[in-house]
């Protein structure tokens, strides 16, 4: 029997990942602070409740970005004695916190709009054109920030950055709702702006739910999917002296993959020879799958002269 276990150094978060995340976060913070100021000022001067609600959403994004920064910094730390498998799940924790912040923000916006709609004896104000201009600016800016952050999240495979990207997209959608409400109010339907604030609330809550669901799935061990497992299985079977595969298990740990595989090899091999086969399998998986961080290869003896069994379905 031979075992080969090693950490895939290529899959560890490189320093460039942290630098990319910090750069993207700095852009997000600067952009959201500027948008918050513009939208809040426009909302107050133009008497637009929807724009004030949108400004609150942008302000919450500043706090959310700091959560992302903390999560990225913690997840990039090297493995230590207390955390021998690394710290990648801190990114998922950051995404979970981000979803909670978004949910609280969305509920606060919805409560404010609901109260205004049913406030007895208080006429709803007609928003000024300045609020519409601020909404257009927000839509364009937030969509640009979404694309920029999503691109970085895909390059680094970062759950926290992807959550931040969808937060930007939800803000863009909420600004669309605000613009529709402002235009409707200016056309003689004052309640349209409050309804727009309720729509903003729903967009924010939807984004919070999707971020929470994605992060929660990554916090719980589950396989990396049938397609990836088939590719790993094929990679293993291609290696010299591998007669078959008894077992293949994978699990996601944050945004990394851990692999356990039991291979069949000639039982007459020496310990050194079977160890070399295991190491060859390990290195092949490591070279082909960059997301794989940790690999365990176990060698079982095949019956002398017998053909290996049919490759099992990954489990």
Q: Facing residues of 257 across strands?
A: 252, 292
Full domain range(s) for residue 214: 13-219
Tens-place pLDDT, residues 58-112: 887 787 788 778 777 777 677 667 766 667 677 778 778 888 888 887 888 788 7
Which one-letter DSSP state was computed for residue 313? P
For residue 86, the model assigns a pLDDT of: 66
Whether residue 7 contacts residue 287, with contact meaning beta carbons closer than 8 Å, is answered with: no
Question: Does residue 310 fall inside a structural domain?
Answer: no
Q: The domain spanning residue 74 has which CATH number?
A: 1.20.1510.10
The lowest-confidence range among 20-29, 65-74, 81-90, 205-214 is 81-90
For 158-203, write each residue's pLDDT tens digit: 777 887 888 788 788 778 878 888 888 888 887 777 787 787 788 7
Percent of the residues in the chain that have a pLDDT greater than 70, as a whole number: 85
Structure tokens at 301: 């003896």
In a domain, 20, yes or no: yes
pTM over 0.75: no
For residue 6, tell me if it sits in a domain: no
Question: Is 308's pLDDT higher than 50?
Answer: no
Average pLDDT of the chain, as a whole number: 80
Q: In the structure encoding, which two tokens stand for residue 162, read together?
A: 């992807």
Please identify, among 219, 248, 270, the residue that sits at the C-terminal boundary of a domain.
219
Could you tell me if residue 191 is inside a domain?
yes
The answer on 283 and 200 residing in a single domain is no
Whether residues 236 and 116 fall in one domain: no
Q: Which two tokens stand for residue 113?
A: 């709009």
Same domain, 176 and 251: no
Q: Is residue 8 part of a domain?
A: no
pLDDT band at 20 (very low <50, low <70, confident <90, very high): confident
The domain tally of the chain equals 2
> Domain boundary residue among 154, 185, 219?
219
């Amino acid at each position: 029997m031979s075992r080969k276990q090693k950490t895939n150094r290529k899959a560890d978060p490189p320093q460039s990942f942290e630098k990319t995340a910090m750069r993207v976060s700095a852009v997000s913070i600067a952009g959201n602070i500027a948008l918050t100021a513009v939208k809040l000022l426009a909302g107050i001067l133009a008497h637009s409740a929807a724009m004030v609600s949108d400004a609150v959403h942008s302000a919450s994004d500043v706090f959310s970005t700091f959560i992302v920064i903390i999560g990225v910094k913690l997840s990039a730390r090297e493995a230590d004695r207390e955390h021998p498998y690394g710290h990648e799940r801190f990114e998922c924790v950051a995404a979970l916190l981000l979803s909670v912040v978004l949910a609280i923000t969305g509920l606060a916006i919805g409560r404010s709009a609901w109260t205004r709609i049913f406030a007895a004896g208080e006429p709803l104000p007609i928003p000024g054109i300045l609020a519409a201009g601020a909404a257009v600016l927000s839509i364009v800016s937030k969509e640009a920030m979404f694309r920029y952050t999503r691109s970085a999240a895909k390059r680094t495979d970062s759950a926290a950055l992807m959550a931040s990207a969808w937060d930007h997209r939800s803000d863009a959608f909420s600004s669309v709702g605000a613009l529709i409400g402002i235009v409707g109010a200016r056309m003689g339907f004052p309640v349209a702006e409050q309804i727009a604030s309720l729509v903003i609330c729903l967009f924010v809550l939807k984004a919070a739910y999707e971020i929470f669901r994605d992060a929660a799935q990554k916090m719980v061990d589950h396989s990396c999917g049938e397609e990836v497992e088939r590719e790993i299985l094929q990679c293993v079977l291609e290696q010299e002296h591998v007669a078959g595969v008894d077992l293949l298990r994978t699990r996601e740990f944050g945004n990394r993959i851990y692999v356990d595989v039991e291979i069949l090899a000639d039982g007459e091999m020496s310990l050194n020879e079977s160890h070399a086969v295991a190491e060859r399998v390990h290195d092949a998986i490591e070279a082909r799958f960059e997301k794989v961080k940790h690999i365990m290869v176990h060698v079982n003896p095949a019956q002398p002269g017998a053909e290996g069994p049919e490759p099992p379905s990954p489990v």
